[in-house]
Amino acid sequence: MAEDPKDAAPARPRGGFFAKVRRGLFMTHTEILEKLGTAVKQGLGIDESVLESLEEALLSADVGAETAGALTDAVRQRASVATRKDLPAVRAMLLEEIEAVIAKAPKPPARPAVPLFVTFLVGVNGSGKTTTTAKLAAREKAASRSVLLAAADTFRAGAIDQLQTWADRLELPVVRHREGADPSAVLFDALSAARARGVASLLVDTAGRLHTKKNLMEELSKMRRIAAREVPGAPHETLLVLDATTGLNGLEQARRFVEAAGATGVVLTKLDGSARGGIVLAIYRELQLPVLYVGVGEGVDDLVPFEAAEYARALLGDDATH
Ligand code: GDP
């Protein structure tokens, strides 16, 4: 296979969550802090105009109206009793409130010790499901687990070949049918193959839309039933893949995936270069789901486990990071 130009590009920054997400979050936090800094300088400490600027800054970072309002109210209440009236004080309060939002969401469950671990990747077309499937497969392989991929996105033109290309590069097997085939049939075959071959990890790339008029959510529910029938407890993990650049518009749709597809965690893609890092908070507060990974590029290594505490600090500009 011809070398992918992305692979030949100069080494991407590596090493830790901060290094990977810094670009995206740097833009977000610069905006928040600039707005806040100006407001604090103009006002006399943490007054209403500063709080308004804070809410506005949070909204522009895409934390969502509800979350921006709740965070600002929390700072308002605390600021009235605060003695320190400076930007670091607002920042510290906000950091605590952000950490509290994250702490309230359910924690990702520990990976069960099962012979075959089944992961579904769900989400709308273009969110990055196929790419994320490949990135997760690479991680599983690196953890010395045997992997099988299921190309169950039979709707999007080219999705099956795209997954196959990744699989070839990673030297991993794929179960595939033709384009337009029944996604549940692909899943059934993949589950059978995984059991027969004693595979440890089955990653299922699902469709964001269907060929038929059949409802996508019904199809995903059916796939869940098939998985559970064939492998007890499956799917063990259902990852909702969300594109950070579509911002809050995606959240309404995301709710349907949580309800109907039983999403257990989120992978937030395209955080590289997006100034919308605040969406992580909207996901925690409004979907009540943990973010498990963030995508920071198109390469197979561009997936990093989400670090909530580091994220909160990076969002508000951690002095140690730059
Ligand atoms: P799907 O329709 O959900 O399967 O989406 P794809 O996996 O085909 O991804 C859609 C596009 O987004 C592709 O061009 C991917 O290379 C790109 N993509 C996926 N994840 C990321 C990411 O984390 N960062 C960037 N910059 N691009 C991404």
Tell me how far the alpha carbon of residue 236 lies from the centroid of ligand 1, in angstroms. 24
Domain membership flag for residue 246:
yes
Mutate to test the pocket of ligand 1, among 121, 131, 135, 302 (most ligand atoms within 8 A of CB): 131
Q: Which residues line ligand 1 (CB under 6 A)?
A: 123, 125-131, 156, 159, 162, 208, 269-270, 272, 295-298, 302
Provide the pLDDT confidence category of residue 209 given band limits of 50, 70 and 90.
confident
Ligand 1 atom closest to Cα of residue 134: 7
Domain membership flag for residue 68:
no
Among 128-132, 213-217, 293-297, which is the least confidently predicted range?
213-217
Q: What pLDDT, on a 0 to 100 scale, did the predictor assign at position 212?
A: 66
The C-alpha angle with vertex 241 and arms to 254 and 291, in degrees rounded to 5, equals 85
- b/e sequence 14-30, b meaning 16+ C-beta within 10 Å: eeebbebbbbbbbebbe
Q: What domain count does the chain have?
A: 1
pLDDT digits (tens, 9 = 90+) for 219-266: 999 999 999 999 999 999 999 999 988 877 778 888 888 888 899 999
| Euclidean distance between CA atoms 52 and 56, whole angstroms | 6
* Residue identifier of the C-alpha nearest atom 13 of ligand 1: 128
Domain membership flag for residue 129:
yes
Ligand 1 atom closest to Cα of residue 296: 23
| Euclidean distance between CA atoms 307 and 292, whole angstroms | 8
Domain membership flag for residue 100:
no
Domain membership flag for residue 225:
yes
Among 126-135, 257-266, 313-322, which is the least confidently predicted range?
313-322
Domain membership flag for residue 187:
yes
Ligand 1 atom closest to Cα of residue 294: 23
Domain membership flag for residue 24:
no
Provide the pLDDT confidence category of residue 7 given band limits of 50, 70 and 90.
very low
What pTM, to 2 d.p., does this model score? Answer: 0.85
User: What is the rounded average pLDDT for all residues in the chain?
Assistant: 84
Tell me how far the alpha carbon of residue 132 lies from the centroid of ligand 1, in angstroms. 8
Domain membership flag for residue 221:
yes
Q: Is residue 117's pLDDT more than 70? A: yes
Ligand 1 atom closest to Cα of residue 162: 8
Tokens of 236: 């063990």
Tell me how far the alpha carbon of residue 102 lies from the centroid of ligand 1, in angstroms. 26
Q: Is residue 15's pLDDT more than 70? A: no
Domain assignment of residue 256, given as a range: 117-263
| Euclidean distance between CA atoms 95 and 106, whole angstroms | 19
Residue with tokens 């059991």: 195
Residue 170 sits in a domain whose CATH number is: 3.40.50.300
Q: Using alpha carbons, list the distances in angstroms from residue 24 to 20, 21, 27, 314, 317.
A: 9, 6, 6, 10, 12
